[in-house]
A and B are shown apart, each in its own frame.
Chain A
Amino acid sequence: MSIRFRFYLGLAALLLLVTAFGLQAKRGFNFESDILALLPSSGSEPVVEEAQQRFASSNARGVMFLVGSTDIALARESATDLANKLQATALFEQINLTIHWSPKVSAEFWLPYRLGLLSERHRQLLVEGRDDLIFAEARRALFTPSGLSRPLPLSQDLAGLMSDFLIGQTRPPGRLQLSNGMLKVDDGETHWIFLRARLQGNPFELSVQQQAAQGIHAAMDQVLAQQEDLSILKSGIVFHAQKSAARAQTEITGFGLMAVSAIVLLMWTSFASPLPLLLGLSSLICGGLAGLLACQWLFGGVHLITLVFGTSLIGVAIDYSLHFFSDQFRLPSIWRPALAVGAVAGAIVVGHVTTVIAYASLLVPPFPGLRQMAVFSISGLIVACLVVLCIFPQIPVRARQRPPGLYRVARICALQAPRWQFRLPHAVSALLVSVIAVGGCLLLTFEDDVRLLQAPQHDLLEEDARLRDLLGLGFESRFLVVHGASAQAVLEREEGLRETLSQLQQEGVLESFQAVSSAVPSIHRQRQVRELQMRTVWSEQGLIPRLMRSLGSTDFEILRNRLNQSPDDPYLSPEAWLADASSAALAPLWLGDIGGQFASIVSLSGIKSASAIKTASASLEGVSFVDKVTDISAVLKTYRELALRLMSAVAALVLLILAIRYGWRGGIACILPPLGGCVLALALQGWMGVPVNLFSTFSLLLLLGMGIDYSVYLREGRHGEQAASSSMFAISLSALTTLLAFGLLNFSSTPFIRSIGLTLAPGILMIWLLAVWLRPQCSNTSAQTC
Chain B
Amino acid sequence: MSRVALMLCASIMAGTACPLGRASQPAQEATISELRSTLAEPLALLESASSLRGRFVQTKQLAGFDLPLISEGDFLYLRDHGLIWRTHTPIQSELLLNDDGVHGLALLDADQTDGNAAATRPLAQIFLALFSLDLHALTQHFKVSSVEVDTGWLLHLQPRDTAMAQIANDIRVSGGAQIQQVSFSDALSDQTRISFSEMTVGDAPPTQIELDRFAH
Contacting residue for B58 out of A105, A133, A145, A154, CB 8 A: A145
Given contacts A104-B162, A121-B114, A155-B65, contact A148 B192 (CB under 8 A): yes
Given contacts A140-B93, A144-B93, A148-B184, contact A155 B120 (CB under 8 A): no
Q: Which chain A residues border B60 with CB–CB below 8 Å?
A: 142-143, 147, 154
* Interface residues of chain B: helix, strand, loop or mixed (majority): mixed
Residue of B nearest to A174 (CB): B118
Does A552 have its Cβ within 8 Å of any Cβ on chain B?
A: yes
Does A180 have its Cβ within 8 Å of any Cβ on chain B?
A: yes
Given contacts A144-B71, A145-B192, A180-B160, contact A151 B107 (CB under 8 A): no
Residue of B nearest to A166 (CB): B119
- Cα(A148)–Cα(B190), bound, Å: 10
Does B69 have its Cβ within 8 Å of any Cβ on chain A?
A: yes
In the bound complex, do residue A146 and residue B66 qualify as a contact, i.e. CB atoms below 8 Å apart?
Answer: no
Q: Which chain A residues border B1 with CB–CB below 8 Å?
A: 555, 558
In the bound complex, do residue A143 and residue B186 qualify as a contact, i.e. CB atoms below 8 Å apart?
Answer: no
Q: Which chain A residues border B122 with CB–CB below 8 Å?
A: 149
- Cα(A184)–Cα(B216), bound, Å: 25
Does B21 have its Cβ within 8 Å of any Cβ on chain A?
A: no
Q: Which chain A residues border B161 with CB–CB below 8 Å?
A: 178-181
A residues 134-161 touching B (CB-CB < 8 Å): 136-137, 139-140, 142-149, 151, 153-156, 158
Q: Mark B155-177, 1 if CB is under 8 A from A, else 0.
A: 00000111101111000000000
In the bound complex, do residue B108 and residue A143 qualify as a contact, i.e. CB atoms below 8 Å apart?
Answer: no
Does A217 have its Cβ within 8 Å of any Cβ on chain B?
A: no
Highest count of chain B CB atoms <10 Å: which of A105, A171, A178, A558? A178
Does A287 have its Cβ within 8 Å of any Cβ on chain B?
A: no
Q: Which chain A residues border B87 with CB–CB below 8 Å?
A: 143-144
Q: Which chain B residues border A365 with CB–CB below 8 Å?
A: none
- Cα(A552)–Cα(B102), bound, Å: 28
Residue of A nearest to B111 (CB): A121
Residue of A nearest to B72 (CB): A143
Residue of B nearest to A103 (CB): B166
Q: Which chain A residues border B45 with CB–CB below 8 Å?
A: none
In the bound complex, do residue A148 and residue B167 qualify as a contact, i.e. CB atoms below 8 Å apart?
Answer: yes
A residues 545-590 touching B (CB-CB < 8 Å): 551-553, 555, 558-559, 562
Q: Mark B179-192, 1 if CB is under 8 A from A, else 0.
A: 00000101110101
The smallest beta-carbon distance between A563 and chain B, in angstroms, is 13
Q: Which chain A residues border B121 with CB–CB below 8 Å?
A: 177
Does B123 have its Cβ within 8 Å of any Cβ on chain A?
A: yes
A residues 163-183 touching B (CB-CB < 8 Å): 164, 167, 171-172, 177-181
Does A72 have its Cβ within 8 Å of any Cβ on chain B?
A: yes
What count of chain B residues pass the 8 Å CB interface test? 50
In the bound complex, do residue B192 and residue A143 qualify as a contact, i.e. CB atoms below 8 Å apart?
Answer: no
Q: Mark B53-87, 1 if CB is under 8 A from A, else 0.
A: 00000101011111101010000000000000101
A residues 111-149 touching B (CB-CB < 8 Å): 121, 133, 136-137, 139-140, 142-149
How many A residues touch the partner, as a band?
35 or more
Residue of A nearest to B89 (CB): A143
In the bound complex, do residue B163 and residue A145 qualify as a contact, i.e. CB atoms below 8 Å apart?
Answer: no
Does A249 have its Cβ within 8 Å of any Cβ on chain B?
A: no
Given contacts A104-B165, A142-B69, contact A171 B119 (CB under 8 A): yes
Given contacts A155-B65, A180-B160, A180-B161, contact A143 B95 (CB under 8 A): no
Q: Which chain A residues border B140 with CB–CB below 8 Å?
A: 72
- Cα(A475)–Cα(B52), bound, Å: 44
Q: Which chain B residues border A177 with CB–CB below 8 Å?
A: 118, 121, 163
In the bound complex, do residue B123 and residue A146 qualify as a contact, i.e. CB atoms below 8 Å apart?
Answer: yes
Given contacts A143-B87, A144-B85, contact A171 B115 (CB under 8 A): yes
Does B18 have its Cβ within 8 Å of any Cβ on chain A?
A: no
Does A603 have its Cβ within 8 Å of any Cβ on chain B?
A: no
Q: Which chain A residues border B184 with CB–CB below 8 Å?
A: 148
Given contacts A153-B187, A171-B115, contact A146 B69 (CB under 8 A): no
Q: Which chain B residues border A172 with CB–CB below 8 Å?
A: 118
The smallest beta-carbon distance between B111 and chain A, in angstroms, is 7
- Cα(A449)–Cα(B106), bound, Å: 44
In the bound complex, do residue A143 and residue B163 qualify as a contact, i.e. CB atoms below 8 Å apart?
Answer: no
Q: Which chain B residues border A136 with CB–CB below 8 Å?
A: 107
Given contacts A144-B58, A178-B161, contact A553 B67 (CB under 8 A): yes
Does B116 have its Cβ within 8 Å of any Cβ on chain A?
A: yes
In the bound complex, do residue A155 and residue B62 qualify as a contact, i.e. CB atoms below 8 Å apart?
Answer: yes
In the bound complex, do residue A149 and residue B187 qualify as a contact, i.e. CB atoms below 8 Å apart?
Answer: no
- Cα(A171)–Cα(B120), bound, Å: 11
In the bound complex, do residue B187 and residue A178 qualify as a contact, i.e. CB atoms below 8 Å apart?
Answer: no
Q: Which chain B residues border A96 with CB–CB below 8 Å?
A: none
Does B30 have its Cβ within 8 Å of any Cβ on chain A?
A: no
In the bound complex, do residue A102 and residue B66 qualify as a contact, i.e. CB atoms below 8 Å apart?
Answer: no
Q: Mark A68-90, 1 if CB is under 8 A from B, else 0.
A: 00001000000000000000000
In the bound complex, do residue A155 and residue B58 qualify as a contact, i.e. CB atoms below 8 Å apart?
Answer: no
- Cα(A145)–Cα(B184), bound, Å: 10
In the bound complex, do residue A143 and residue B93 qualify as a contact, i.e. CB atoms below 8 Å apart?
Answer: yes
Q: Which chain A residues border B71 with CB–CB below 8 Å?
A: 143-144
- The 5 A-B pairs at the shortest CB distance, nearest first, are namely A180-B161, A143-B71, A155-B62, A102-B162, A149-B123
State the B residues within 8 Å of A (CB): 1, 58, 60, 62-67, 69, 71, 85, 87, 90-91, 93, 95, 102, 105, 107-108, 110-111, 114-116, 118-123, 127, 140-141, 160-163, 165-168, 184, 186-188, 190, 192, 194
State the A residues within 8 Å of B (CB): 72, 99, 102-105, 121, 133, 136-137, 139-140, 142-149, 151, 153-156, 158, 164, 167, 171-172, 177-181, 551-553, 555, 558-559, 562
Given contacts A144-B91, A145-B192, 7 further A-B contacts (CB under 8 A): A102-B166, A144-B58, A144-B95, A145-B123, A148-B168, A153-B186, A553-B66
User: Could you list some 12 contacts between A and B, CB below 8 A?
Assistant: A103-B119, A133-B108, A142-B60, A143-B93, A144-B87, A145-B58, A145-B102, A146-B123, A153-B63, A178-B162, A181-B161, A553-B65
